[in-house]
């Protein structure tokens, strides 16, 4: 079975490590490029696809509010994956790139995550990721960046869907060293990575065919690489949050198989654009409360304290059951959920928390 752990950005990277690099060696064909620190990100070119790199994703999470002031969380992801195969095959069906997309909606009234995934090979115009600017398509699911900078998301499935316009209020946030984002102790363990926090959202959420008008705030990540995770990696915890004062926080840690962490990173950019970066030893994830999934029996630290330097953030989930259990179709299980942040017991902002590798024993 094609284990599409790459449904989740980090999971995709894990797949890469285990499946490709671990067995076939890195950059085996010589066709794919590696990530180097000297590259200067240029826009709008880098909004578009980078087909010379193995994996790439556009990942959007956010909080929405309906007209009757009910909160919803959403996640939308498009991946492009280079199979690094079939270069000589002249067939229109030759699987050179795969497009994978993921749609999830968190509604406390439903109590569990609604989600859909699709995978299609590029070809026949059914699926593509274009160069030059963000323009990704998978059948009738699309993510397009307009010339004014706003993103249009249109993703509908049989029983739910989204049509959203996301308008940037701040400039792109280049992570780590000007967009060169290290993921491990070795220099080649890295990706190109920028975020667009504080996207203003307006649009429609469809539930059983009924449209509901929504407004909200979202976070976009665009990241591409060929290979970067340490073989020792076990899973990761990641958070991206739009803070109420206009600042943006991103933090992650990569957990080691034997406990402890392989790498960690955090960045805090205030409303005026000043960036504070935190070294691996300044970032700490501390579980507060765990939740055991009734679907998979995996135990997730759904409530966390995160320390970045001197600041401590407290993360509370919108609802506990935001587990994404897609073993039927893709054999992937992880937790991806809307969370609220407090600092010193005061509301500080809202974001998304991602917890992977907790249900690993179930996957085999």
Partner 1 sequence: MNTTMISRWLLWGEWRAHWLQFLVALTAIGIGVAMAFSIHLINTAAFNEFSAASKSLSGQSDLQVQSRSGFFDEMLYPRLAGYPEVQLANPVLELDVTVSGKQQNRNDHRLKIIGIDMFRAMAIVPDLLGLPEEGKSLDRVASDTIFLSPAAMEWLQVQQHDHLELHAGLETITLRVAGGLVRARAGQRLAVMDIGAMQWRFQQLGVLSRIELKLDNGVNHAAFKVKLADELGDAFVVTEQTDQEKRIANMSRAYRVNLNMLALVALFTGTFLVFSTQALSVVRRRQQFALLRVLGYTRQQLLRQVVTEGLTLGVFGSVLGLALGYGVAVSAIQLLGGDLGTNFFPGVKPGIYLDPLMALLFFAVGVTVTLLGNVAPALEASRAKPALALRSGSEDMAMAKLSAPWYALVCLAIALLFTQLPPIFELPIFGYLAISLLLIGGIALMPYLTARVFVRLLRFQSDQPGAVGMLAAARLAHAPNQSAIALGGILASFSLMVAMAIMVASFRISIDQWLGQVLPADLYVRTAVSGDQGGFQADAQQQIKTLSSFQRVDLFRTLHLTLDPNRPDITLFARPVDRADPRNTLPMTDDMLMPGTIPEDVMPVWISEAMVDLYGYKTGDRIRLPVGTAPNEFLVAGVWRDYGRQFGAIQMLLTDYQALTGDISVNTVAAWLQSGVTADQAIAALRQLPFGSALEISNSSDMRALSLEIFDRSFAVTYLLEIIAVVIGLMGVAASFSAQILARIKEFGMLRHIGVLRRQVLMLLAMEGGLLTVLGIVLGFLLGWAISLILVFIVNPQSFHWTMAIHMPWPWLVSVAAVLLVSAALTAVLSGRRAVSAQVIRAVREDW
**The binder of partner 1 chosen from 30, 40, 68, 125 (CB under 8 A):** 125
**The binder of partner 1 chosen from 61, 75, 119, 195 (CB under 8 A):** 119
Q: How far apart are CA 349 and CA 340, in angstroms?
A: 6
Residue 326 binding partner 1, by CB under 8 A: no
Contact region with partner 1 (CB under 8 A), list: 50-58, 121-129, 283-291, 335-343: 121-129
Residue 23 binding partner 1, by CB under 8 A: yes
Q: How far apart are CA 59 and CA 69, in angstroms?
A: 25
Nearest approach, Cβ of residue 18 and partner 1 (Å): 6
CA angle 137, 143, 144 (to 5 degrees): 105
Q: How far apart are CA 174 and CA 166, in angstroms?
A: 19
SS percent in the chain: helix, strand, coil, step 5: 10, 55, 40
Nearest approach, Cβ of residue 275 and partner 1 (Å): 38
Residue 2 binding partner 1, by CB under 8 A: yes
Contact region with partner 1 (CB under 8 A), list: 124-132, 219-227, 288-296, 314-322: 124-132
**The binder of partner 1 chosen from 34, 83, 167, 316 (CB under 8 A):** 83
Q: Which is nearer to partner 1, 121 or 137 (CB)?
A: 121
**The binder of partner 1 chosen from 34, 86, 165, 178 (CB under 8 A):** 86
DSSP 33: P
Q: How far apart are CA 264 and CA 282, in angstroms?
A: 8
With a CB cutoff of 8 Å and minimum separation 6, the contacts of 312 are 305, 306, 343, 344
Q: Which is nearer to partner 1, 30 or 125 (CB)?
A: 125
Q: Which is nearer to partner 1, 18 or 311 (CB)?
A: 18
Q: Is residue 121 within 8 Å of residue 98, measured between CB atoms?
A: yes
Residue 93 binding partner 1, by CB under 8 A: yes
Residue 85 binding partner 1, by CB under 8 A: yes
Nearest approach, Cβ of residue 360 and partner 1 (Å): 14
CA angle 329, 333, 334 (to 5 degrees): 140
Q: How far apart are CA 152 and CA 241, in angstroms?
A: 21
With a CB cutoff of 8 Å and minimum separation 6, the contacts of 132 are 44, 45, 47, 48
Beta-strand pair 97-106/248-256 = unpaired
Nearest approach, Cβ of residue 151 and partner 1 (Å): 25
Residue 18 binding partner 1, by CB under 8 A: yes
Nearest approach, Cβ of residue 67 and partner 1 (Å): 29
Burial class (CB in 10 A: 0-12, 13-18, 19+), 19: middle
Residue 131 binding partner 1, by CB under 8 A: no
Q: Is residue 268 within 8 Å of residue 248, measured between CB atoms?
A: yes
Residue 126 binding partner 1, by CB under 8 A: yes
Contact region with partner 1 (CB under 8 A), list: 120-128, 180-188, 252-260, 341-349: 120-128
Question: Minimal CA–CA distance to 244: which of 293, 212, 198, 279?
Answer: 198
Contact region with partner 1 (CB under 8 A), list: 20-28, 40-48, 163-171, 298-306: 20-28
Residue 95 binding partner 1, by CB under 8 A: yes
Residue 3 binding partner 1, by CB under 8 A: yes
Question: Minimal CA–CA distance to 33: which of 48, 50, 17, 21?
Answer: 50
Residue 92 binding partner 1, by CB under 8 A: yes
**The binder of partner 1 chosen from 121, 182, 198, 314 (CB under 8 A):** 121
Residue 362 binding partner 1, by CB under 8 A: no
Binding residues (CB under 8 A) for partner 1: these are 1-4, 15, 18-20, 22-23, 83, 85-86, 88-95, 98, 119-121, 124-126, 158, 329
């Amino acid at each position: 079975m094609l284990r599409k752990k790459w449904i989740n950005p980090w999971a995709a990277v894990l797949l890469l490590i285990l499946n490709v690099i671990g067995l076939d060696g890195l950059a085996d064909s010589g066709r794919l490029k590696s990530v180097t620190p000297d590259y200067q990100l240029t826009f709008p070119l880098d909004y578009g696809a980078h087909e010379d790199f193995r994996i790439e994703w556009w990942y959007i999470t956010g909080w929405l509010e309906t007209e009757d002031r009910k909160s919803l969380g959403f996640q939308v992801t498009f991946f492009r994956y280079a199979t690094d195969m079939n270069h000589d095959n002249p067939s229109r069906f030759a699987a050179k790139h795969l497009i994978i997309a993921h749609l999830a909606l968190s509604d406390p009234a439903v109590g569990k995550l609604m989600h859909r995934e699709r995978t299609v090979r590029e070809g026949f115009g059914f699926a593509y990721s274009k160069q030059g600017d963000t323009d990704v398509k998978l059948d009738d699911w699309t993510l397009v960046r307009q010339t004014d900078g706003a993103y249009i998301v249109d993703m509908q499935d049989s029983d739910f869907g989204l049509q959203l316009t996301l308008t940037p209020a701040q400039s792109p946030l280049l992570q780590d060293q000007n967009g060169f984002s290290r993921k491990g102790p070795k220099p080649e363990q890295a990706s190109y990575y920028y975020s667009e926090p504080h996207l203003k959202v307006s649009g429609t959420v469809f539930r059983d065919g009924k449209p509901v008008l929504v407004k909200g705030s979202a976070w976009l990540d665009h990241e591409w690489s060929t290979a970067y995770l340490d073989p020792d990696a076990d899973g990761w915890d990641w958070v991206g949050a739009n803070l109420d004062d206009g600042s943006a926080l991103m933090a992650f840690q990569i957990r080691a198989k034997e406990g402890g962490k392989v790498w960690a990173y955090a960045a805090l950019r205030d409303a005026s654009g000043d960036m504070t970066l935190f070294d691996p030893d300044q970032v700490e994830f501390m579980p507060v409360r765990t939740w055991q999934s009734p679907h998979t029996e995996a135990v997730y630290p759904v409530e966390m304290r995160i320390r970045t330097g001197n600041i401590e953030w407290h993360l509370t989930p919108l609802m506990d059951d935001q587990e994404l259990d897609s073993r039927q179709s893709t054999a992937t299980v992880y937790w991806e959920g809307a969370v609220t942040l407090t600092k010193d017991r005061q509301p500080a902002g809202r974001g998304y928390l991602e917890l992977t590798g907790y249900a690993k024993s179930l996957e085999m």
